Amino acid sequence: MTVDRSDPAAPVIRVEGDLAYTTAGPLRAEVDRMLADAPPALVLDFTGLLFIDSTGLGVIVHAWREGQQCGTALRLCAVPRFLATILDMTGVTGLLARPLGESLTAAEGAASTA
């Protein structure tokens, strides 16, 4: 994992290798450090990602949820095909597409009335 803070409005965390139970802790801690400053956006760059398990997926969801709380949009970039498939299959793609600040209840209510 590397961190690029050159753009304070959208710091970037680059994830490389495996994002799994044994390696997810440092990423989660870095996400929390970045969100403490409440930047407008936080970018997770998966250019070098080789593998992800449910713990790694949980870190992505955690970053989105905490970002919603502090007004930070989560953006993913260089998402490998296998991760895109996992995000789609688990519904995380839809979660990440929700507008900043939209609660789960409001989004679900809008979907049920459409």
pLDDT digits (tens, 9 = 90+) for 23-80: 999 999 999 999 999 999 999 999 999 999 999 999 999 999 999 999 999 999 999 9
pLDDT recorded at residue 100: 77
Sheet holding 12-19, edge to edge: 2-4, 12-19, 41-52, 73-77
Output the pLDDT for position 112.
38
C-alpha 14/C-alpha 46 separation (Å) is 6
Q: Any idea where the domains of the chain sit in the sequence? A: 2-101
CATH superfamily placement of domain 2-101:
STAS domain (3.30.750.24)
Please give the residue that has the higher pLDDT: either 46 or 111. Answer: 46
pLDDT at 103: 56
Exposed e or buried b per residue across 21-53, where buried means at least 16 C-beta atoms within 10 angstroms of its C-beta: eebbeebbebbeebbeeebeebbbbbeebeebe
- Prediction pTM value: 0.85
